[in-house]
Amino acid sequence: MAALAPFLSCWRLKADGRLMTTATSLLLPVRQDSRSLMLKVARHSEEARGNRLMVWYDGDGAAPVVARRGACLLLLRGGPSLAELSQHDDHAATRHLCAVAQALHRGRARPPPRLVTLRRWFADLLTVRDSPVSAMARALLDDDRDQCPLHGDLHHGNVLWFEETGWGAIDPKGLLGHRAFDYANLFLNPTARMAADPARFLARLRQVSEQANLPELLLLRWIVVWATLSALWHKEEGSNGAAARAVAALAGSVLASRS
């Protein structure tokens, strides 16, 4: 808590919950007069990059930023996430996710902060030799159309309800690449059971394709490469990545049937 003391004093904040510590940030629910806010201090360059992107979003599709000072970000505190809505109305949750993505992808008057390219993000997969999925990733990354700043981790748990502004995203990674990438992650969430359900997968595919104006085949390719990379990262971290592998296999099967 001592590390947060200067920010609490500067912005006249009072702690309003327990301090949460992750590998990349410190998070503390706070209050400023009658406002419920979240204080976030980046402890990793990836989080600091995401903080800068949050400022650039300026509340359009993202949690409103109240203030920023160095590695510290002060945000409005959100309510329930789309993970809860998805449990009883997945169609509505998917619709809101797509709307948030479209807002995040809109151009702004100011240039974005420095971002990490998808080619760099996919480096671990691109180095796998003699892999059809690696070759698919290269082909997708060679397509320079529809490039924009990307959230990079857009899923149900990272989209919260804000009373003042509606649904908004938190915790971006700060990437740059084809806009279709940002839709791929929703297919792996919010639970492994839901993500691997074939009927739900096909319903989401149709809905996202229509709402985001993206061809289903293009979406399928991005889902395959992203789910494969996610599974690879899980393996490197010592977990089995079964959910990501299941989605990669499901998307690959649908893609093969349509090619």
* H-run or E-run covering 192: helix 192-195
Q: Report strand pairing: 166-169 vs 35-42.
A: unpaired
> Which residues contact residue 65 at a Cβ distance below 8 angstroms, ignoring those fewer than 6 apart?
54, 55, 57, 58, 59, 73, 74, 75
Residue found under tokens 């989209």: 159
Spatial separation of the C-alpha atoms in residues 257 and 259, rounded to whole Å: 6
Closest of 93, 90, 52 to residue 70, by C-alpha: 52
Residue 110, helix vs strand vs coil: coil
Catalytic residue chosen out of the listed positions 153, 171, 182, 197? 153
Residue found under tokens 């359009």: 60
CA quadruple 37, 38, 39, 42: dihedral, nearest 10: -150
Looking at this protein, which amino acid is placed at residue 255? Answer: L
* H-run or E-run covering 98: helix 90-104
- Does the annotation count 33 as an active-site position? no
250 φ, ψ (degrees, to nearest 5)? -65, -50
Spatial separation of the C-alpha atoms in residues 60 and 45, rounded to whole Å: 23
Catalytically active residues are 153
